[in-house]
Structure 1
Amino acid sequence: MSWTGLAERVLDLRVTTTQATAVFVVVTAVGLAVLAARRQRRWLLAGLTAAAGAAVATVVLAAVLIDKVWRPFPDPLPAVVYLWSGLAIFAMALLGGRWFVRRRDRSRPAVGAGLVAAAVAVLLCAAGGINAVYDAYPTVRAVLGRTDYRTVPFDASLAPQAVSGQDPPRPGNWVPPDDLPQTGAVTKTSIPGAVSRFSARAARIYLPPAYFAAPRPDLPVLVLLAGQPGSPDDWLVGGRLTEIMDAYAAGHRGLAPIVVLADGTGGRLDNPLCVDSHLGNAATYLTVDVPEWVRAHLQVDPDPRAWAVGGLSYGGTCALQLATTRPDVYPTFLDMSGQAEPTLGNRNTTIRDVFGGDAEAFARNNPADLLARNRYPDSAGAFVVGLDDAEYRGAMERLTAAARAAGMDVHLTELPGAHSFAVWSAGLEKEMPWLGHRLGLDAP
């Protein structure tokens, strides 16, 4: 095997599997043992106790500040995240203790490279263990930020094509040329908040192979949203978006939806609840600015029946909000592990801080309330959740039943896993045949 081939195999190694986590556990144990090992009785009695106490106190304080005071996330962090964080802090406390002891004993050298290496190994394994919880960076390539998909600049070549004397072909009767690319491509561009004034990060847009043909067909659109915390890049890294879409296109003559990875939060830790409020007009941005911009700058089917919105976690909650508040814009949705309702942690806090204490305004933006009040006979959607997702599975089951009772054509897909990209990427892959049919990719 060549060095290039070996490097590619290393880059494609998965780092979020059960086996990888087992390696992280073993290396962490060895690293902590190296840091803790010292023959002096005083160190064993006082040094280890002080380091462990510092780690526990730091983690407890962080949990209180994050989950009770700061609350940057709508739900508490999993206990395993705090456990890995505590082990990392414990390693650093041990290293600091060893350095302090050696500094007092002038006859001994400074902390050796072996101790520093042990501490670094524990830190890396802790990061790997936390990453494995969410499957956010599934391979070495993803961890290093190395992309493996085709990119193109956003320029005039991507603008809608003018076909003299006739309409662009429909996907169902479009004939792919012999030189059709085997893969799609990703481009990056800003979608301004012309109406909403929402401050959005740049979008990523997946264009299927059919988009690079002449003439190209009018293609359907999937607006796909990340979670919170998150960014538009998340679906490209942990979500395996290009791999899933290219595989679908390979079996459908190069056809797939144009996927717009729009920014639904405005910042990695921001949570505008997918509504129009003092936190930002996220709803107007996603239902007015994004569709109008896409129709003006890309060759898409303008019919709302060819449009869908989807997302994971916060993005799934947002997708259902938009499908219930603006079914005229998004009559099709994918809610993957969404919440029971838009929240900043609890209903009272949400109503007070976002809706100025107006419970009815909250109800007008809460899918569960809207599904109980209205009928949606022209809407359809897919709910996806992990079988081990204790925090969200019940909500997905209840919302599926409520949507069905409101006249929607919906189904629930439950997959192995918890609240992670392993579920969301598998969910998108599984739902693509249904979504493609719903958006008219096989219609003449």
Structure 2
Amino acid sequence: MPISIAVAMLLWGKVRGPEPVRILSRLAMIVFCQVTAVVMVFVMVNNANLIYGSWDDLLGTGNHVRAVPSVPPADPAAPGAATGTPAPAGDAKPPAKALQSFKGVDDPKVPNDVQKTELKGQLSGVDGEVLVWLPPQYHDPAFKDRKFPVVELIPGFPGSSSTWYGTLKVSEQLKPLMQQGKVAPFILVSPRTLLLGNSTDAGCTDVPGKVNADTWLTRDVPQMVLDNFRADPSPDRWGVAGYSAGAHCATKLSLAHPNRYRAGVSLSGYNDPAVEKDSLVGKDAKLREANNPVNIVKTAAQPPKVALYISGNKGDGYEDGQAIAAVAKAPTTIQVQETTGPHSSDVWKNMVPGVFEWLTSVIPAQP
């Protein structure tokens, strides 16, 4: 029994004073009990699904954008990809190595072997936590000279960097499959994507004057992984996966950056950024058009060498996958899988093993 109800029951018969005072006092007790009950239910749901990583995230008071610098192009052949604005010209100086310290995640739902670091994005101006899990082979002496493939894991909106590990149980499900050789030994990386303090979805996009979310995810975070772990630098050995709003990110980032990702996984995603009502990108006509995966495919100078796995129920991502498949040309490949069930973590959690077996077929373990 919540403490508020026990206190109300204890004090109910002890209220003194005129009748109006007694009535108001008891009404206040009832309201207090209702409020605490609602808060308790919310906390239980949040703890179960790891929707918000902190009270700052919930209240919209956390801001992880330190600055919004101009971002030099990563690849002269693809300046300004998916940002809606051209990147500045000039030679990009390689950033200093992002050597980081790591510690455990202070969350009982997240496995003890997941590591966390606080990263200051050198190119993006974004600051945020990044959670990393290493496959069982990583510390095996037989693999000491081996470089490992990487998959970035993008949560939905709102969402926490812990959700893939704590709710979808990605590392717990994949560890035995990696040990059995059914899934490649991927390094799993989940960065913060809730970046703006007013509970606005950045849409994994570089928005001039607001946030460099694309650069954070596709350059700062990967560079940190390369600087601190035996990660394979080849784009053929990198993938990105997401669910819901994170699925939209995974699709568009992989298509816009074939120089970083070989594969993308979308679980119940969408193409139009405006589907997310709190999307900063969806409110800008130019950015909205530029960040629709269908338009990215249509306007690409050449079809990106990317394999996509897109799943969703009818009305919840399935038709979006078909729309991309209709305009894609080789070497882009699209596998669209119809699913059943609600738009929920229970559905996505059950899909994790199959999704990573598909990723292994695209990014196999090195012999």
User: Residue 123 of structure 1 aligns to which amino acid in structure 2?
Assistant: V
Q: Does the residue aligned with 2:274 lie in a helix, a strand or coil?
A: coil
Q: 1:382 to 1:254 in 2, by over 3 A?
A: closer
Per-residue CA distance 1:33-69 (angstroms, 9 max, x = gap): xx9xxxxxxxxxxxxxxxxxxxxxxxxxxxxxxxxxx
Question: Within 1, Cα distance between the matches of 2:163 and 2:36?
Answer: 26
Point out the structure with max Rg over C-alpha.
1
Q: 1:254 to 1:427 in 2, by over 3 A?
A: closer
Question: Within 2, Cα distance between the matches of 1:225 and 1:365?
Answer: 16
Alignment of 1:149 onto 2:75? no
User: Residue 108 of structure 2 aligns to which amino acid in structure 1?
Assistant: R
Q: Alpha-carbon deviation of 1:264?
A: 2.8
Question: Within 2, Cα distance between the matches of 1:419 and 1:338?
Answer: 10
Question: Within 2, Cα distance between the matches of 1:200 and 1:270?
Answer: 16
Task: Trace 1:92-171 onto structure 2 (pairs within 5 A).
Answer: 105=19, 111=26, 119=34, 123=38, 127=42, 136=49, 145-147=107-109, 149-150=111-112
Alignment of 1:373 onto 2:311? no
Q: Does the residue aligned with 1:209 lie in a helix, a strand or coil?
A: coil
2:120: which partner in 1? 192
Q: Is the 8 A contact 1:372 1:406 kept in 2?
A: no
Q: Is the 8 A contact 1:319 1:334 kept in 2?
A: yes
1:223: which partner in 2? 152
Report the TM-score when normalising by structure 2: 0.68
User: Residue 203 of structure 2 aligns to which amino acid in structure 1?
Assistant: L
1:271: which partner in 2? 201
1:326: which partner in 2? 257
Q: Alpha-carbon deviation of 1:187?
A: 0.6
* Match for residue 341 of structure 1 among 259, 272, 285: 272
Question: Within 2, Cα distance between the matches of 1:232 and 1:349?
Answer: 20
Q: Alpha-carbon deviation of 1:116?
A: 9.0
Question: Within 1, Cα distance between the matches of 2:41 and 2:277?
Answer: 30
Q: 1:210 to 1:339 in 2, by over 3 A?
A: same
Task: Trace 1:12-91 onto structure 2 (pairs within 5 A).
Answer: none
Q: Alpha-carbon deviation of 1:249?
A: 1.7
Question: Within 2, Cα distance between the matches of 1:116 and 1:221?
Answer: 50
Q: Alpha-carbon deviation of 1:416?
A: 3.0
Report the TM-score when normalising by structure 1: 0.57
- Provide structure 2 residue ranges, at least 5 long, that are not aligned to the other structure: 52-105
From the two aligned structures, give the one with the greater helix fraction: 1
Q: Does the residue aligned with 1:231 lie in a helix, a strand or coil?
A: coil
Q: Is the 8 A contact 1:208 1:257 kept in 2?
A: yes
Question: Within 2, Cα distance between the matches of 1:397 and 1:103?
Answer: 69
Q: Alpha-carbon deviation of 1:136?
A: 1.8
Give 4+ residue runs of structure 1 displaced > 4 Å after superposition. Answer: 101-104, 114-122, 128-132, 344-351
Q: Does the residue aligned with 1:202 lie in a helix, a strand or coil?
A: strand
Q: 1:131 to 1:420 in 2, by over 3 A?
A: farther
Q: Alpha-carbon deviation of 1:415?
A: 2.9
Q: Is the 8 A contact 2:200 2:280 kept in 1?
A: no
* Number of residue pairs the alignment of both structures matches: 299
What is the percent sequence identity of the aligned residues? 23
1:436: which partner in 2? 360
Q: 1:349 to 1:103 in 2, by over 3 A?
A: farther
Q: Is the 8 A contact 1:382 1:413 kept in 2?
A: yes
1:397: which partner in 2? 322
- Provide structure 1 residue ranges, at least 5 long, that are not aligned to the other structure: 1-26, 36-94, 139-143, 151-184
Q: Alpha-carbon deviation of 1:349?
A: 8.3
Per-residue CA distance 1:361-381 (angstroms, 9 max, x = gap): 543332111222334362101
Q: Does the residue aligned with 1:301 lie in a helix, a strand or coil?
A: coil
Q: 1:398 to 1:128 in 2, by over 3 A?
A: farther
Alignment of 1:315 onto 2:246? yes
Question: Within 2, Cα distance between the matches of 1:350 and 1:228?
Answer: 13
Q: 1:312 to 1:117 in 2, by over 3 A?
A: same
Q: 1:188 to 1:348 in 2, by over 3 A?
A: closer
Q: Alpha-carbon deviation of 1:334?
A: 0.8
User: Residue 290 of structure 1 aligns to which amino acid in structure 2?
Assistant: V
Q: Alpha-carbon deviation of 1:333?
A: 0.6
Q: 1:349 to 1:205 in 2, by over 3 A?
A: closer
Question: Within 2, Cα distance between the matches of 1:303 and 1:258?
Answer: 14
Per-residue CA distance 1:308-336 (angstroms, 9 max, x = gap): 01111221111111112111111211112
1:418: which partner in 2? 342
Question: Within 1, Cα distance between the matches of 2:335 and 2:34?
Answer: 48
User: Residue 227 of structure 1 aligns to which amino acid in structure 2?
Assistant: G
Q: Alpha-carbon deviation of 1:208?
A: 1.1
Q: Is the 8 A contact 1:337 1:384 kept in 2?
A: yes
RMSD: 4.0
* Match for residue 205 of structure 1 among 116, 120, 132: 132
Q: Alpha-carbon deviation of 1:196?
A: 1.7
Q: Alpha-carbon deviation of 1:202?
A: 0.7
